Amino acid sequence: MSEFLIAFWQTYNTLLFTVFVHGMLALSIYITLACGQLSLGNAAFMGIGAYTAALLTMKMQVPFALALAAGGLLPAAVALAIGIPTLRLSGVYLAMATLGFGEVVRVVFLNLAITGGSLGLNGVPLKTEFWHLLFILGGLIYFFVKLKNSRFGRALEAINEDEIAAAVLGIRTTFFKVGAFVVGAFIAGIAGGLNAHFTFFVSPREYGFEFAVDILTFAILGGTGTFWGPLLGSTILTLLPELLRFLGPYRLALNGLILLLVVLYLPNGIVSFKRKGGPS
């Protein structure tokens, strides 16, 4: 049995790491969707976190825990700076604004010498261990469970239902929307730092429009009625290409077909039911 587990781990450890990192990214977009805000900036926040943590450990030999914390705090600070003006927008306008921000970040990474330009950063030290992912994702799940009945969670629910009515009731809508945006950026940055110190490599091509859409797809597939939905969606979309490997070049087509069927017949996602109370 132990030999089987060792062989399984050696074969699928990268896939398992990816499942956990994608789960964090799914939660990072869930919290903004929970207050009705469609943001496509999470891939850029992940990139900022990845570069920050990697540069700190590679260039300054900063301890991994501090580098990881910085990888979460810097994108959170950036989110705070851009969140106040951009979160006055909503719907497709907010999506376009955050998408533009993501492209700006990608171009900056491509042209800075310290980030390695188009070649990215190679030789990032291996620091991420599986227990790091278990601990952090477990902590995030605990946070979202507690968020359900908290003042913050109920405020997000009210804003999602009717922002104007929430403002009339005295809820500081901009404060809570920016707060959700900052928390999402922090989570994405942490995920980026963990990923960089497992893959040994950070490239600006990893954090563009395509990956931003992938993160949104996690939530669409799983459903945003509960935080379990995006987690399920990210797990399915990460494992599916591996499970369909026997189909060769056709597996991506089947992947897309499954997503299309879910959108058509389960428009609220796989985990679809009416929410009660705050975000759960």
Q: What's the pLDDT at 168?
A: 86
Q: What is the mean pLDDT of residues 80-106?
A: 84
Exposed / middle / buried, residue 114 (Cβ in 10 Å: 0-12, 13-18, 19+): exposed
pLDDT higher at 184 or 162: 184
Would you give the distance in Å from CA 99 to the centre of its chain? 14
Q: What's the pLDDT at 277?
A: 42
CB distance 29 to 241 below 8 Å = no
Residue 200 parent element (H or E): none
Residues in the chain: 280
Q: What's the pLDDT at 240?
A: 83
Residues 48-59, buried b or exposed e (16+ Cβ, 10 A)?
bbbbbbbbbbbe
- Nearest Cα neighbor of 258 from 275, 279, 278, 237 is 237
pLDDT at 225 over 60: yes
pLDDT higher at 117 or 19: 19
Domain spans in the chain, listed from the N-terminal domain onward: 25-242+249-265
Q: Report how far residue 75's alpha carbon sits from residue 155's, in angstroms, rounded to the nearest whole number.
A: 23
The reported pTM is 0.90
- Report CA-CA distances (Å) from 154 to 88, 158, 174, 278: 20, 6, 15, 5
Q: Report how far residue 123's alpha carbon sits from residue 153's, in angstroms, rounded to the nearest whole number.
A: 41
